[in-house]
């Protein structure tokens, strides 16, 4: 019996076994590791985009002028040359909530806030998402767990919002003009945020978060009073610094002019401050700044 052909066959089978073992190990260990790394890089881009768009929200509230700003956000990631399958994600704008309101001649004008969030789907690393609300960004996880992205804990967030939130303070501006003793004009600028017509998108491609700012002015001739109410039932004290600012401003106006009575405070349901006029009431110019946030 001639065994000379057996050696090449055995050698080929051994090489094939080694190749199969290598490919199996590569598919089981190397490719998942590379996809996780690609997913981490994708989430870093999402994080940077959220922080940048959060800054855009602050800018829109501060400038109070017509503008359009947008950021592109990749919904999916984790793709690579040898495995182009991508994860997915959902971008959503919603959660509209009233922070404060201004009442003039029984007409109420609201200062609303909303949030926007990114939720991963089929992530190759971990189900890490992001959510912006009340002027700061949270990292989100499975089971509804959230933690602040730029602060150590929620105690620091609450302290920042209560003491030094420039975002909150920019939502209502109050200015005045008059003679030495009589206030003739009061200008109130009110910023409100609301979801756009396109408030939800999902998939594995690239989405866009955008905001459009429009400004409308309305003259209210000789109103009886100005009432500003602040929602004190928020989960964070965002209303505190805005309340303090408006209260100080209205007290300053009352101190400067004889045709304005001292503000009356009420904190039963909402923190409210009412400015009542006596004699010749000033005209009030209301500037409504509307920021429409969309996801598409």
Domain-located, residue 162: yes
Domain-located, residue 165: yes
pLDDT on residue 169: 93
Domain-located, residue 224: yes
Domain-located, residue 246: yes
Domain-located, residue 109: yes
Dump pLDDT digits (tens) for 102-151.
999 889 999 999 999 999 999 988 899 999 999 999 999 988 889 999 99
Q: pTM of this prediction?
A: 0.89
Q: Kindly tell me if the per-residue pLDDT of 267 is higher than 80.
A: no
Quick check: 140 and 146 in contact, CB under 8 A?
yes
pLDDT, average across residues 153-161:
92
The residues facing 294 across adjacent strands are 210
Domain count, the chain: 1
Quick check: 128 and 141 in contact, CB under 8 A?
yes
pLDDT on residue 165: 87
Count CB atoms within 10 A of the CB of residue 106: 8
pLDDT band at 180 (very low <50, low <70, confident <90, very high): confident
Domain-located, residue 237: yes
Q: Kindly tell me if the per-residue pLDDT of 3 is higher than 90.
A: no
Dump pLDDT digits (tens) for 49-71.
999 999 999 999 999 999 999 99
Spatial separation of the C-alpha atoms in residues 268 and 234, rounded to whole Å: 15
Spatial separation of the C-alpha atoms in residues 94 and 293, rounded to whole Å: 9
Domain-located, residue 287: yes
Phi, psi of 240 (to 5 degrees): -65, -55
Axis crossing angle, helix 154-164 with helix 238-256, rounded to the nearest 10: 10
Domain-located, residue 1: no
Closest to 111 (Cα-Cα) out of 61, 67, 153, 49 = 61
Structural domain of residue 124, as residue ranges?
6-295
pLDDT band at 74 (very low <50, low <70, confident <90, very high): very high
């Amino acid at each position: 019996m001639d065994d000379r052909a057996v050696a090449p066959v055995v050698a080929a089978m051994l090489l094939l076994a080694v190749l199969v073992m290598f490919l199996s190990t590569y598919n089981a260990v190397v490719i998942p590791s590379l996809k996780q790394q690609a997913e981490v890089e994708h989430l870093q881009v999402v994080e940077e985009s959220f922080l940048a768009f959060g800054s855009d929200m602050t800018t829109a509230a501060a400038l109070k002028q017509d503008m359009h700003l947008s950021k592109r956000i990749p919904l999916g990631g984790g793709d690579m040359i040898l495995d182009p399958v991508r994860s997915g994600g959902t971008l959503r704008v919603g959660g509209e909530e009233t922070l404060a309101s201004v009442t003039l001649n029984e007409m109420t004008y609201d200062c609303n806030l909303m949030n926007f969030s990114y939720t991963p789907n089929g992530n190759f690393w971990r189900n890490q998402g992001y959510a912006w609300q009340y002027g700061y960004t949270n990292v989100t996880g499975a089971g509804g767990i959230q933690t602040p992205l730029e602060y150590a804990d929620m105690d620091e967030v609450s302290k920042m919002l209560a003491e030094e939130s420039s975002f909150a303070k920019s939502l209502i501006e109050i200015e005045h003009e008059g003679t030495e003793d009589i206030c003739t004009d009061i200008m109130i600028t009110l910023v409100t945020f609301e979801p756009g017509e396109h408030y939800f998108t999902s998939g594995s491609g690239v989405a866009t978060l955008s905001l459009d700012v429009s400004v409308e002015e309305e003259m209210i001739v000789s109103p009886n009073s100005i009432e500003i109410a602040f929602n004190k039932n928020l989960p964070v004290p965002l209303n505190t610094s805005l309340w303090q600012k408006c209260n100080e401003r209205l007290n300053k106006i009352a101190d400067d002019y004889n045709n304005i009575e001292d503000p009356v405070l009420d904190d039963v349901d909402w923190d409210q401050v009412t400015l009542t006029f006596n004699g010749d009431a000033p005209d009030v110019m209301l500037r409504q700044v509307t920021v429409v946030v969309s996801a598409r």
